[in-house]
Amino acid sequence: MNSTQKEIIHIIGIGGIGMSAIAEILHNFNYKVQGSDVQSNDNVNRLQKLGIEVYIGHSANNIRQAQIVVHSSAIKSDNVELVAARSNNKIVLHRSDILTEIMKDKYVIAVSGSSGKTTTTAMIASIFDNSGTDATVIVGGILNSYQNNSKIGKSEIFLVEADESDGTMLKIPVNIAVITSINDDHIDHYGTFDGIKNAFSQFINSADFAVLPDSVDISHGDCATFGLENGNIRASNIKQHNNSMEFDVLIDNNHRIKNVVISNAIGMHKVSNALAAISVAVKLGISDAAIKKGLLEFKGVARRFSFIADIKGVKLIEDYAHHPNEIQATLTAARSITKGKVIGIIEPLRFARIRNFFNEFIQVFMMFDYVILTPVHPPEDKPISGYGIGDIRKTLISNGFSNVKIMNDALLISNFINDSTNLGDVVLFIGAGGNIAKLARETVVFMSEVEV
């Protein structure tokens, strides 16, 4: 691929967080890009303002002028545009194929892992931005510093968040491979936990250098390990402040960076993310001062423990967590900033995931003071009998946890919060979908009106 080519590239699901970043990168590299999605969203609006044509709704007509059609694993094989592309002998590429082409002959730092990869990628980007390292960045979230999920850099360095959910991180040409964590997510794709570990092992062993949590039992000949207690790069003297974490970093038992502060971060898992980012910076020879400045200037990532309002002393926070371990980490972070109640307004992701982790979800939901369940995301996901939000509620009640409701109306939720909270309490809007984000925004509006 090169910028003199004039083929039209059509991206199915262009409004997705990963696909919209690819669309913008291609557009900035002077490719002709268009796309489609089932509905408009902020990513679609941003792309349209750049002059990228976006069709709302899928139709075979949308791809008539395109020579190349790009899809992700989220697009089903019977998608009308995908079927039409193959029937008409269009070039059909997976998103990972396009990423591979974009990054050919570049110096690639790829961040993958079961959780924490978006925040870690964002922290590395912030360190780069404050050290004069002008990298191109592609990330699976909206970085508050960019108000975007991508940035075009002038150097040969590409920093990319690599998707582990379907194994496509294995297609990316990698110089530095970063793994943030490994858990038993995406069993449906990998079959077993050993299958997940083997994929991550292949990922790091395709790279020149690896950054790994000290807790994982996979290895690489040339690597840095990080951890809160062990590893080449570890943290000590950890202190939590109102909206930041402070700690010292010990590198190879002989070099210490004192008083590192991560702004816009709460929770020990954020310290772990920062250690992974620092490991990359140390490998690249970035100075201690630039590392400290990058983390101090870290603006956070939208929907990653993001404060969205403080109404009458009740903090409303939004988080993208959708695996039981992630939800527990988010709850732990919330507990660390309040002695009051924590209410979880939770949007489960996919019925298969509820089935795979049903008992784990029940255990973590019982750690909240109250839980409000909203419909499963995505709305078109096919229900699995026995694993809906009604089944979760019934099981919680049978286990003695009665503080659980099912709601999907922001006015009702705001009334519940007003009636059930006191000064210092925390409300968490948890989930990866658009509905929970919409409910969070609307709830803030209703509660603000009551406050006035």
> Each residue of 279-305: pLDDT tens digit?
999 999 999 999 999 999 999 998 899
At residue 4 the predicted structure's pLDDT band, cuts being 50, 70 and 90, is very low
Sheet of 53-56: strand order equals: 53-56, 32-37, 8-12, 68-71, 91-94
At residue 6 the predicted structure's pLDDT band, cuts being 50, 70 and 90, is confident
Tally helices (H) and strands (E) across the chain: 15, 21
φ and ψ at residue 178, rounded to 5 degrees: -115, 130
Give the model's pLDDT for residue 189: 67
Alpha-carbon dihedral 284, 290, 295, 301, rounded to 10 degrees = -70
Q: What is the mean pLDDT of residues 72-95?
A: 93
Exposed e or buried b per residue across 32-46, where buried means at least 16 C-beta atoms within 10 angstroms of its C-beta: bbbbbbeeeeebbeb
377 versus 4: the higher-pLDDT residue is 377
Binding residues for ATP are 113-119
Mean pLDDT of all residues in the chain?
92
Give the model's pLDDT for residue 3: 46
- Whether the per-residue pLDDT at 134 is higher than 60: the answer is yes
Give the model's pLDDT for residue 192: 86
Q: What is the mean pLDDT of residues 352-356?
A: 93
- Whether the per-residue pLDDT at 125 is higher than 50: the answer is yes
At residue 7 the predicted structure's pLDDT band, cuts being 50, 70 and 90, is confident
Give the model's pLDDT for residue 451: 58
- Whether the per-residue pLDDT at 68 is higher than 60: the answer is yes
At residue 196 the predicted structure's pLDDT band, cuts being 50, 70 and 90, is confident
- Give which of 159, 199, 207, 160 is closest to 182, Cα–Cα: 199
Distance, in Å, from the CA atom of 122 to the CA atom of 299, rounded to the nearest integer, reads: 9
Q: What is the mean pLDDT of residues 52-65?
A: 96
Q: Which domains does the chain have, with CATH numbers?
A: 8-99 (3.40.50.720), 103-296 (3.40.1190.10), 306-451 (3.90.190.20)
- Give which of 289, 290, 298 is closest to 270, Cα–Cα: 298
- Dihedral sign for Cα atoms in the order 112, 169, 101, 57: negative
Distance, in Å, from the CA atom of 371 to the CA atom of 341, rounded to the nearest integer, reads: 11
Instruction: Using alpha carbons only, give the angle 207, 104, 204 rounded to the nearest 5 degrees.
Output: 15
Cβ-based burial of 242 (10 A; exposed 0-12, middle 13-18, buried ≥19): exposed
At residue 172 the predicted structure's pLDDT band, cuts being 50, 70 and 90, is confident
Quick one: what percent of the chain has pLDDT higher than 70? Answer: 98
Active site residues: 117-118, 161
- Whether the per-residue pLDDT at 387 is higher than 60: the answer is yes
Sheet of 404-406: strand order equals: 306-311, 314-319, 426-430, 342-346, 370-373, 404-406
Q: What is the mean pLDDT of residues 152-165?
A: 91
376 versus 3: the higher-pLDDT residue is 376
- Residue 133: CB atoms within 10 A of its CB come to 19
Q: What is the mean pLDDT of residues 220-230?
A: 89
Q: What does the block give as tokens for 438?
A: 């919409």
Distance, in Å, from the CA atom of 200 to the CA atom of 174, rounded to the nearest integer, reads: 13
8 Å CB contact between 233 and 257 = no
For the stretch 106-118, pLDDT in tens is 999 999 998 899 9
Q: What is the mean pLDDT of residues 93-105?
A: 89
**Running DSSP on this structure, what letter comes out for residue 301?**
B
Distance, in Å, from the CA atom of 429 to the CA atom of 343, rounded to the nearest integer, reads: 9
Distance, in Å, from the CA atom of 12 to the CA atom of 82, rounded to the nearest integer, reads: 8
For the stretch 423-445, pLDDT in tens is 999 999 999 888 999 999 999 99
